Amino acid sequence: MTLQTDVFGEWTAEVLAVRSGRWQPERDRAFWQEKAAHYDAGQPPLPNTVAWLRERLTGAASLLDVGAGTGRLTLPLAGAVGRVTALDHSPDMLAVLRAKGPPAYLHLRQQELADALQDPTLPPHDAVLSAWSLAYLPDLRGALTGLLRLARRDLFLLEDDGVGSPHVTLRRQLAGQPRPTRASSLRRALHALGAEPEHLQIPEERELTFPDTAALLAQARLPLGAAEALAFLRPHLTPEGEGWRYRWTFDVHALHVPLGTRP
């Protein structure tokens, strides 16, 4: 007998257990109000992921980016399609996108995803993308069912499995915290809905520079002595003047559900 776990129930329980309460849309919007201005500076570039998506978007006439944020992916992808909708519930994240001067065929839509999925004025698009935007939605079944309905040709979900950076991974291990497995959960959820996603791990690189060892250790916040922490980080470090260049690779998990036929 195989034991079927309820991925949707597990997801809801995890989302509701988050102390910040960001499953409440007003809390999430307040979070992004604080972060919006600095979001881009704290994010790694994703050249390989963008190239992969651009290739998959060939021939698509429209793209809906759900939780588009500051347009980190929307803008580099916009040139690949003729019509783009950037949907986000945070006015502050969309204000950053707007300030970048998006092309006229990129339509900004400030709306809660749950409302958008019930809104007949939001038409289906050839491709729908959700990149790191489902994490605090309690109703994953409703969200994915709605996104599958809105996607005429392709649905793309991007997420992490695990946290990526060596220092945060070690910090979690030492604290006995389990590795986050959101990408795996999304894959199981799509499978439960009868969709068979292609699952790719796209390698990307992250690099931070620090003027000195103290600044590096302050960022890493490892519960170890300075020498031990430095020894752990050393394989990822290159000396630079008095300081360090800290580089690591991580995987973006891309789930692609092909729907309908391609031209």
Question: 90 or 185, CB closer to ligand SAM?
Answer: 90
- Do residues 202 and 252 touch, judged by C-beta distance below 8 A? yes
What is the rounded CA–CA span in Å between residue 157 and residue 121? 23
Select from 257, 205, 228, 247 the least CA-distant residue to 56: 257
What is the rounded CA–CA span in Å between residue 96 and residue 244? 31
Query: Nearest approach, Cβ of 251 to ligand SAM (angstroms)?
Result: 15
Question: Would you give the end-to-end CA distance of the chain in angstroms?
Answer: 43
Tokens at 153, concatenated: 């040709």
Question: 66 or 195, CB closer to ligand SAM?
Answer: 66
Question: 62 or 130, CB closer to ligand SAM?
Answer: 130
Long-range contacts of 82-87 (CB under 8 A, 24+ apart): 83/107, 83/125, 85/109, 85/122, 85/125, 87/111, 87/113, 87/116, 87/122
Q: Where are the beta strands (DSSP E) in the chain?
A: 62-66, 83-88, 106-110, 125-131, 151-159, 198-210, 237-240, 243-258
Residues at the contact surface with ligand SAM, assessed by CB under 6 A: 25, 28, 32, 67-69, 72-73, 88-90, 93, 112-113, 131-133, 136-137
- Do residues 116 and 109 touch, judged by C-beta distance below 8 A? yes
Question: 170 or 208, CB closer to ligand SAM?
Answer: 208
Question: 132 or 232, CB closer to ligand SAM?
Answer: 132
Query: Nearest approach, Cβ of 72 to ligand SAM (angstroms)?
Result: 4
**106 has which bridge partners?**
84
Query: Nearest approach, Cβ of 60 to ligand SAM (angstroms)?
Result: 18
What is the rounded CA–CA span in Å between residue 89 and residue 159? 19
What is the rounded CA–CA span in Å between residue 67 and residue 89? 7
Query: Nearest approach, Cβ of 89 to ligand SAM (angstroms)?
Result: 3
Question: 96 or 195, CB closer to ligand SAM?
Answer: 96
Question: 146 or 197, CB closer to ligand SAM?
Answer: 146
Select from 2, 6, 3, 7 the least CA-distant residue to 183: 7
Query: Nearest approach, Cβ of 168 to ligand SAM (angstroms)?
Result: 16
Query: Nearest approach, Cβ of 170 to ligand SAM (angstroms)?
Result: 23
Query: Nearest approach, Cβ of 32 to ligand SAM (angstroms)?
Result: 5
